Structure 1
Amino acid sequence: MPDTNDKSPLDHDISTHIFTTSAAMVGVCITVIGILRVIIAIRQADLIEDDMFAVNAMLYLVTCLMSYWSLRTRSVRRLHRLERISDTLFLVSLAMTTVNAGFLTWALSAH
């Protein structure tokens, strides 16, 4: 029977998923910013959503770096701490992406 106190394999797996997903989400945010800049240029109206997605991309980048650091660390205590931080930051970033999408939808439909 596996030892229930050994969290290293699970943490390593979660860190890998957070690392790859947050890196992909940085790309998604950058793509949205590019599309928004085109819309802003065509409509000649300034939107705050491109700034919000830029902050969102930076949060995903910090999440990505924290999960990468947790993959590279040898200390189990540091691994768990970094894992917790990157997990929390990922959920905050994901919630911010949802809020940004809502703001973007309402801003574009209002014009």
Structure 2
Amino acid sequence: MANKTSQHILSTSANLLGFCLFIITSLHLSNKSENNLIDEFTSVVALLLTISCVLSFISIRTQNKNREYKLEQIADYLFIVSLIGIFAIIVFMIFNFWNK
């Protein structure tokens, strides 16, 4: 296989997507209305991780080398943006719960 990172992006994005869905579910179960911003931001990050998963999967399955490279690059960029988003969510949650 020519692509080197698509397999790693696919598995890690799927795991982090579960983390985001866990955050969204826990916020809804705890009825934290003041955490609406965290909920919305986590939903955006979950969407980016889902797109990254799909693109990395298509990159693995395609036979066209040019398309494989482009899809892998886009999935890689979306993944790093999602990681930064998860970091921001964690920092925001720490500050939110620290101030209580």
CA–CA distance in 2 between the matches of 1:37 and 1:109?
20
Q: What is the aligned partner in structure 2 of residue 57 from structure 1?
A: 46
Describe the superposition over 1:34-53 as per-residue Cα deviations: whole angstroms up to 9, x where unpaired: 112233x2xx5421101111
Letter in 2 for 1:17: H
Which residues in structure 2 correspond to 1:26-105 (within 5 Å)? Answer: 26-39=17-30, 41=31, 45-47=33-35, 48-105=37-94
Deviation of the 1:71 alpha carbon:
0.8
| Relative contact order, higher structure (CA 8 A, sep 6+) | 2
Q: Which runs of 5+ in 1 are unaligned?
A: 1-6
Larger Rg: 1
Runs of 4+ in 1 over 6 A off after TM superposition: none
- Following TM superposition, by how much is the alpha carbon of 1:110 offset from its aligned partner in structure 2, in angstroms? 2.0
Offset from partner CA, 1:26-79 (integer Å, 9 cap, x none): 11100011112233x2xx542110111111111100000110110111000111
Give, in whole Å, the separation in 1 of the partners of 2:83 and 2:47: 12
Instruction: Provide the residue aligned with 1:3 in structure 2.
Output: none
Q: How many residues align?
A: 99
The alignment's C-alpha RMSD in Å is 1.5
Percent of aligned positions with the same letter in both sequences?
A: 30
